[in-house]
Structure 1
Amino acid sequence: MRNTFETQRLTLQPICPKDAAFILQLLNTEGWLQFIGNRQVNTQNDALNYIDKILATENLYYWTVTLKSNGVPAGLVSYMKRSYLPHFDIGFAFLHDYHGKGYAFEATTAVLTHVSTILHHQYVLATTVSGNAASIKLLERLNFCYSKTIETENDQLLVYVRKLHGGF
Protein backbone atom coordinates (compact mmCIF):
# COMPACT_ATOMS: atom_id res chain seq x y z
CA MET A 1 0.00 0.00 0.00
CA ARG A 2 2.65 2.45 -1.05
CA ASN A 3 0.16 4.57 -2.98
CA THR A 4 0.37 8.30 -3.57
CA PHE A 5 -2.81 10.29 -2.92
CA GLU A 6 -3.83 13.76 -4.02
CA THR A 7 -6.50 16.01 -2.61
CA GLN A 8 -7.47 19.51 -3.62
CA ARG A 9 -4.61 21.06 -1.63
CA LEU A 10 -2.32 18.20 -0.67
CA THR A 11 -0.13 15.41 -1.95
CA LEU A 12 0.43 12.34 0.23
CA GLN A 13 3.49 10.34 -0.75
CA PRO A 14 4.89 7.25 0.95
CA ILE A 15 7.61 8.24 3.39
CA CYS A 16 11.11 7.92 1.94
CA PRO A 17 14.70 8.81 2.87
CA LYS A 18 14.42 12.27 1.28
CA ASP A 19 11.96 13.12 4.08
CA ALA A 20 14.65 12.80 6.78
CA ALA A 21 15.04 16.53 7.50
CA PHE A 22 11.27 16.92 7.83
CA ILE A 23 11.02 13.85 10.08
CA LEU A 24 13.78 15.22 12.30
CA GLN A 25 11.83 18.48 12.61
CA LEU A 26 8.38 16.92 13.20
CA LEU A 27 9.49 14.31 15.74
CA ASN A 28 11.08 17.00 17.87
CA THR A 29 8.10 19.35 18.02
CA GLU A 30 6.46 20.02 21.36
CA GLY A 31 3.23 18.34 20.22
CA TRP A 32 4.95 15.14 19.06
CA LEU A 33 7.04 14.86 22.21
CA GLN A 34 4.06 15.55 24.48
CA PHE A 35 1.38 13.45 22.82
CA ILE A 36 3.26 10.74 20.90
CA GLY A 37 6.57 10.46 22.70
CA ASN A 38 10.29 10.84 22.28
CA ARG A 39 11.50 8.52 19.52
CA GLN A 40 15.16 9.48 20.10
CA VAL A 41 15.43 11.01 16.62
CA ASN A 42 18.04 13.68 17.29
CA THR A 43 20.10 13.75 14.08
CA GLN A 44 19.59 13.42 10.34
CA ASN A 45 21.04 9.90 10.58
CA ASP A 46 18.54 9.01 13.33
CA ALA A 47 15.75 10.23 11.04
CA LEU A 48 17.04 8.06 8.18
CA ASN A 49 17.13 5.04 10.51
CA TYR A 50 13.59 5.82 11.69
CA ILE A 51 12.38 5.92 8.08
CA ASP A 52 14.25 2.70 7.22
CA LYS A 53 12.51 0.89 10.10
CA ILE A 54 9.12 2.08 8.87
CA LEU A 55 9.83 0.93 5.33
CA ALA A 56 11.04 -2.49 6.53
CA THR A 57 8.02 -3.19 8.74
CA GLU A 58 5.04 -5.11 7.40
CA ASN A 59 1.62 -3.50 7.91
CA LEU A 60 3.15 -0.11 8.72
CA TYR A 61 2.53 2.75 6.29
CA TYR A 62 3.42 6.42 6.57
CA TRP A 63 2.69 9.21 4.11
CA THR A 64 4.39 12.58 4.07
CA VAL A 65 1.76 15.26 3.47
CA THR A 66 2.96 18.18 1.36
CA LEU A 67 1.19 21.31 0.22
CA LYS A 68 0.53 21.36 -3.52
CA SER A 69 0.95 25.12 -3.57
CA ASN A 70 4.64 25.05 -2.65
CA GLY A 71 5.74 21.44 -2.06
CA VAL A 72 6.47 22.09 1.62
CA PRO A 73 5.94 19.10 3.95
CA ALA A 74 3.29 19.83 6.57
CA GLY A 75 2.65 16.53 8.32
CA LEU A 76 2.32 12.76 8.36
CA VAL A 77 -0.51 10.27 8.19
CA SER A 78 0.11 6.70 9.36
CA TYR A 79 -1.83 3.47 8.97
CA MET A 80 -0.66 0.43 10.88
CA LYS A 81 -1.65 -2.81 12.50
CA ARG A 82 -0.65 -2.69 16.15
CA SER A 83 -0.31 -5.98 18.05
CA TYR A 84 -2.56 -4.77 20.88
CA LEU A 85 -5.44 -3.63 18.65
CA PRO A 86 -7.85 -5.83 16.64
CA HIS A 87 -7.96 -3.53 13.58
CA PHE A 88 -5.64 -1.14 11.77
CA ASP A 89 -4.96 2.20 13.44
CA ILE A 90 -4.76 5.55 11.67
CA GLY A 91 -2.73 8.44 12.99
CA PHE A 92 -1.73 11.96 12.02
CA ALA A 93 0.75 14.61 13.09
CA PHE A 94 1.32 18.05 11.60
CA LEU A 95 3.74 20.86 12.23
CA HIS A 96 2.17 23.58 14.39
CA ASP A 97 2.10 26.10 11.51
CA TYR A 98 -0.37 23.83 9.70
CA HIS A 99 -2.82 23.24 12.57
CA GLY A 100 -6.36 24.55 12.22
CA LYS A 101 -6.30 24.76 8.42
CA GLY A 102 -8.10 21.48 7.66
CA TYR A 103 -5.00 19.74 6.30
CA ALA A 104 -5.09 16.83 8.77
CA PHE A 105 -8.80 16.29 8.06
CA GLU A 106 -8.22 16.39 4.30
CA ALA A 107 -5.21 14.05 4.36
CA THR A 108 -6.73 11.56 6.79
CA THR A 109 -9.96 11.47 4.79
CA ALA A 110 -7.97 10.55 1.66
CA VAL A 111 -6.36 7.58 3.42
CA LEU A 112 -9.67 6.48 4.97
CA THR A 113 -11.35 6.58 1.56
CA HIS A 114 -8.59 4.40 0.12
CA VAL A 115 -8.68 1.77 2.87
CA SER A 116 -12.46 1.62 2.68
CA THR A 117 -12.89 1.42 -1.10
CA ILE A 118 -9.71 -0.35 -2.20
CA LEU A 119 -8.71 -2.49 0.79
CA HIS A 120 -12.30 -3.01 1.99
CA HIS A 121 -11.37 -2.63 5.64
CA GLN A 122 -14.57 -2.48 7.63
CA TYR A 123 -13.26 -0.79 10.77
CA VAL A 124 -10.41 1.59 11.51
CA LEU A 125 -9.19 2.52 14.96
CA ALA A 126 -7.35 5.56 16.23
CA THR A 127 -5.63 6.10 19.55
CA THR A 128 -4.67 9.18 21.49
CA VAL A 129 -3.99 10.31 25.02
CA SER A 130 -6.69 12.05 27.03
CA GLY A 131 -4.87 15.39 27.04
CA ASN A 132 -4.72 15.69 23.27
CA ALA A 133 -7.88 17.76 22.77
CA ALA A 134 -7.03 18.71 19.16
CA SER A 135 -6.64 15.07 18.14
CA ILE A 136 -9.87 14.07 19.88
CA LYS A 137 -11.72 16.92 18.16
CA LEU A 138 -10.40 15.86 14.75
CA LEU A 139 -11.26 12.19 15.35
CA GLU A 140 -14.82 13.18 16.20
CA ARG A 141 -14.99 15.37 13.09
CA LEU A 142 -13.82 12.31 11.10
CA ASN A 143 -16.76 10.34 12.58
CA PHE A 144 -14.72 8.25 14.99
CA CYS A 145 -16.45 7.30 18.24
CA TYR A 146 -14.81 6.69 21.58
CA SER A 147 -14.72 2.95 22.29
CA LYS A 148 -12.60 2.34 25.39
CA THR A 149 -9.44 3.16 27.29
CA ILE A 150 -6.57 0.67 27.24
CA GLU A 151 -3.28 0.38 29.08
CA THR A 152 -0.10 -0.12 27.06
CA GLU A 153 3.44 -0.42 28.34
CA ASN A 154 3.93 3.34 28.33
CA ASP A 155 0.51 4.98 28.25
CA GLN A 156 -3.16 4.93 28.90
CA LEU A 157 -4.71 5.32 25.44
CA LEU A 158 -8.18 6.31 24.36
CA VAL A 159 -9.31 4.04 21.52
CA TYR A 160 -11.66 5.44 18.90
CA VAL A 161 -13.40 3.37 16.23
CA ARG A 162 -14.97 4.14 12.90
CA LYS A 163 -17.03 1.80 10.76
CA LEU A 164 -15.98 2.45 7.18
CA HIS A 165 -18.60 0.67 5.13
CA GLY A 166 -21.61 2.85 5.02
CA GLY A 167 -19.78 6.03 4.17
CA PHE A 168 -18.69 9.15 5.95
Structure 2
Amino acid sequence: MQFITSNCVIEPLQPEHYKAIHMLYSNEQVRTYLGGVPQDSYIEASFKGMLAAPFPNTYLYISLKTTGEFIGLVSIDEYHDKELYELSYQFLPQYWGKGLAFEVLTAVMEEGLNYLDISSIVAETQTANKASCHLLEKLGMHKVQVLERFGHEQALYEIKKNHKESR
Protein backbone atom coordinates (compact mmCIF):
# COMPACT_ATOMS: atom_id res chain seq x y z
CA MET A 1 0.00 0.00 0.00
CA GLN A 2 2.01 2.95 -1.32
CA PHE A 3 0.39 6.04 -2.74
CA ILE A 4 1.03 9.71 -3.36
CA THR A 5 -1.15 12.68 -2.39
CA SER A 6 -0.74 16.26 -3.63
CA ASN A 7 2.16 16.91 -1.25
CA CYS A 8 3.16 13.61 0.33
CA VAL A 9 4.41 10.11 -0.33
CA ILE A 10 2.77 7.45 1.84
CA GLU A 11 4.66 4.17 1.95
CA PRO A 12 4.93 1.08 4.14
CA LEU A 13 7.34 1.37 7.05
CA GLN A 14 10.77 -0.18 6.31
CA PRO A 15 13.78 -1.07 8.52
CA GLU A 16 15.73 1.91 7.13
CA HIS A 17 13.10 4.26 8.62
CA TYR A 18 14.19 3.57 12.21
CA LYS A 19 16.20 6.78 12.66
CA ALA A 20 13.26 8.93 11.55
CA ILE A 21 10.80 7.06 13.79
CA HIS A 22 13.21 7.36 16.73
CA MET A 23 13.37 11.13 16.11
CA LEU A 24 9.56 11.30 16.04
CA TYR A 25 9.11 9.28 19.25
CA SER A 26 11.82 11.38 20.95
CA ASN A 27 10.12 14.69 20.21
CA GLU A 28 8.58 16.14 23.39
CA GLN A 29 5.96 18.19 21.50
CA VAL A 30 4.81 15.17 19.50
CA ARG A 31 4.61 13.05 22.66
CA THR A 32 2.73 15.64 24.79
CA TYR A 33 -0.57 13.73 24.59
CA LEU A 34 1.02 10.30 24.06
CA GLY A 35 2.49 9.62 27.47
CA GLY A 36 5.75 11.52 27.04
CA VAL A 37 9.01 10.51 25.40
CA PRO A 38 9.60 6.78 25.90
CA GLN A 39 12.95 5.14 26.59
CA ASP A 40 15.10 4.05 23.65
CA SER A 41 14.43 0.38 24.40
CA TYR A 42 10.68 1.00 24.10
CA ILE A 43 11.11 2.87 20.80
CA GLU A 44 13.22 0.04 19.39
CA ALA A 45 10.77 -2.64 20.53
CA SER A 46 7.81 -0.66 19.17
CA PHE A 47 9.53 -0.22 15.82
CA LYS A 48 10.29 -3.94 15.56
CA GLY A 49 6.65 -4.65 16.45
CA MET A 50 5.45 -2.34 13.70
CA LEU A 51 7.64 -4.07 11.12
CA ALA A 52 6.46 -7.52 12.22
CA ALA A 53 2.75 -6.67 12.59
CA PRO A 54 0.45 -9.04 10.68
CA PHE A 55 -1.89 -7.81 7.96
CA PRO A 56 -4.18 -5.84 8.06
CA ASN A 57 -2.17 -3.85 10.63
CA THR A 58 -0.47 -1.18 8.53
CA TYR A 59 2.26 1.31 9.46
CA LEU A 60 2.99 4.10 7.02
CA TYR A 61 6.02 6.37 6.65
CA ILE A 62 5.03 9.84 5.45
CA SER A 63 7.42 12.10 3.56
CA LEU A 64 7.16 15.25 1.47
CA LYS A 65 6.86 14.55 -2.24
CA THR A 66 9.14 17.44 -3.24
CA THR A 67 12.05 16.94 -0.82
CA GLY A 68 11.64 13.43 0.61
CA GLU A 69 11.78 14.86 4.14
CA PHE A 70 10.16 12.64 6.78
CA ILE A 71 7.13 14.31 8.34
CA GLY A 72 5.26 11.61 10.25
CA LEU A 73 3.93 8.15 10.92
CA VAL A 74 0.37 6.97 10.32
CA SER A 75 -1.04 3.57 11.17
CA ILE A 76 -4.18 1.52 10.99
CA ASP A 77 -3.93 -1.27 13.50
CA GLU A 78 -5.93 -3.28 15.98
CA TYR A 79 -7.69 -1.17 18.58
CA HIS A 80 -7.54 -2.09 22.28
CA ASP A 81 -10.56 -4.39 21.97
CA LYS A 82 -9.00 -6.31 19.02
CA GLU A 83 -12.32 -6.05 17.13
CA LEU A 84 -11.97 -2.57 15.63
CA TYR A 85 -9.15 -0.90 13.71
CA GLU A 86 -7.67 2.38 14.87
CA LEU A 87 -6.22 5.23 12.88
CA SER A 88 -3.18 6.69 14.69
CA TYR A 89 -0.85 9.45 13.63
CA GLN A 90 2.14 11.44 14.75
CA PHE A 91 3.56 14.34 12.72
CA LEU A 92 6.64 16.41 13.47
CA PRO A 93 5.70 19.86 14.88
CA GLN A 94 7.19 21.84 11.99
CA TYR A 95 4.49 20.32 9.75
CA TRP A 96 1.53 21.03 12.04
CA GLY A 97 -1.14 23.48 10.87
CA LYS A 98 -0.26 23.16 7.17
CA GLY A 99 -3.08 20.82 6.13
CA LEU A 100 -0.69 17.90 5.58
CA ALA A 101 -2.19 15.69 8.29
CA PHE A 102 -5.68 16.23 6.86
CA GLU A 103 -4.44 15.44 3.34
CA VAL A 104 -2.61 12.29 4.40
CA LEU A 105 -5.27 11.00 6.79
CA THR A 106 -8.04 11.51 4.24
CA ALA A 107 -6.12 9.34 1.76
CA VAL A 108 -5.14 6.74 4.38
CA MET A 109 -8.71 6.41 5.67
CA GLU A 110 -10.09 5.94 2.16
CA GLU A 111 -7.40 3.43 1.21
CA GLY A 112 -7.68 1.72 4.59
CA LEU A 113 -11.41 1.19 4.43
CA ASN A 114 -11.17 -0.20 0.91
CA TYR A 115 -7.78 -1.93 0.65
CA LEU A 116 -7.88 -3.42 4.14
CA ASP A 117 -11.56 -4.24 3.65
CA ILE A 118 -12.70 -3.02 7.05
CA SER A 119 -16.12 -1.49 7.71
CA SER A 120 -15.08 1.32 10.06
CA ILE A 121 -12.08 3.03 11.58
CA VAL A 122 -11.83 4.52 15.07
CA ALA A 123 -9.39 7.06 16.45
CA GLU A 124 -8.74 7.85 20.10
CA THR A 125 -7.21 11.05 21.38
CA GLN A 126 -7.05 12.95 24.65
CA THR A 127 -9.91 15.42 24.91
CA ALA A 128 -7.26 17.97 25.97
CA ASN A 129 -5.67 17.63 22.51
CA LYS A 130 -8.03 20.12 20.87
CA ALA A 131 -6.12 20.17 17.56
CA SER A 132 -6.41 16.41 17.17
CA CYS A 133 -10.11 16.41 18.11
CA HIS A 134 -10.72 19.15 15.53
CA LEU A 135 -8.78 17.22 12.87
CA LEU A 136 -10.78 14.03 13.46
CA GLU A 137 -14.05 15.95 13.20
CA LYS A 138 -12.85 17.68 10.03
CA LEU A 139 -12.11 14.22 8.60
CA GLY A 140 -15.79 13.34 9.08
CA MET A 141 -15.32 11.20 12.16
CA HIS A 142 -17.92 11.36 14.92
CA LYS A 143 -17.30 11.20 18.67
CA VAL A 144 -18.90 7.99 19.88
CA GLN A 145 -17.51 7.69 23.41
CA VAL A 146 -15.57 9.50 26.12
CA LEU A 147 -13.52 7.27 28.41
CA GLU A 148 -10.58 7.29 30.78
CA ARG A 149 -7.41 5.54 29.64
CA PHE A 150 -3.76 6.09 30.52
CA GLY A 151 -4.88 8.41 33.34
CA HIS A 152 -6.51 10.94 30.98
CA GLU A 153 -9.92 11.57 29.47
CA GLN A 154 -10.00 10.23 25.91
CA ALA A 155 -12.45 10.78 23.07
CA LEU A 156 -13.16 7.89 20.73
CA TYR A 157 -14.12 8.86 17.19
CA GLU A 158 -15.41 6.62 14.40
CA ILE A 159 -16.11 6.74 10.68
CA LYS A 160 -17.93 3.99 8.80
CA LYS A 161 -17.16 2.78 5.28
CA ASN A 162 -20.49 3.94 3.87
CA HIS A 163 -20.06 7.40 5.48
CA LYS A 164 -19.66 9.25 2.17
CA GLU A 165 -22.45 7.33 0.45
CA SER A 166 -24.96 8.16 3.21
CA ARG A 167 -24.43 11.92 3.10
TM-score range, shorter chain: 0.7 to 0.9
Count matched residues: 164
Select 2:51's aligned residue among 47, 52, 55: 55
Residue of structure 2 in register with 1:34 after alignment: 32
Aligned to 1:16: 14
- Return 5+ residue gaps in structure 1 as ranges: none
Q: Do the aligned residues in 1 keep the contact of 2:28 with 2:37 (CA within 8 Å)?
A: no
- Whole-Å separation in 1 of the counterparts to 2:82 and 2:129: 20
1:95-145 deviations in whole A, cap 9, x for unaligned? 011011111111111111112233332211000001111101100110011
Question: Residue deviations 1:47-69, cap 9 Å, x none?
Answer: 44432111223343211100010
User: Letter of the aligned partner of 1:34 in structure 2?
Assistant: T
Taking the aligned partners of 2:119 and 2:127, their CA distance within structure 1 comes to 25
Tell me the alpha carbon deviations over residues 40-93 of structure 1, each in whole angstroms, 9 at most, x when there is no partner: 343xx7644432111223343211100010000001111111232642110111
Tell whether the 8 Å contact from 1:116 to 1:164 is kept in structure 2 after alignment. Answer: yes
Match in the other structure for 1:95: 92
- Is this contact kept in 1: 2:8–2:62, CA < 8 A? yes
Aligned residue identity for 2:162: H
- Give me the identity figure in percent: 26
Aligned Cα root-mean-square deviation (Å): 2.1
Name the structure 2 match of 1:124: 121
Which aligned segments of 4 or more residues in structure 1 are displaced greater than 4 angstroms?
45-48
Q: Does the CA-based 8 Å contact 2:18-2:47 persist in structure 1?
A: yes
Q: TM-score of the superposition, structure 1-length normalised?
A: 0.86
| Change in 2 beyond 3 A, CA 1:48/1:153 | closer
The residue number in structure 1 matching 2:112 is: 115
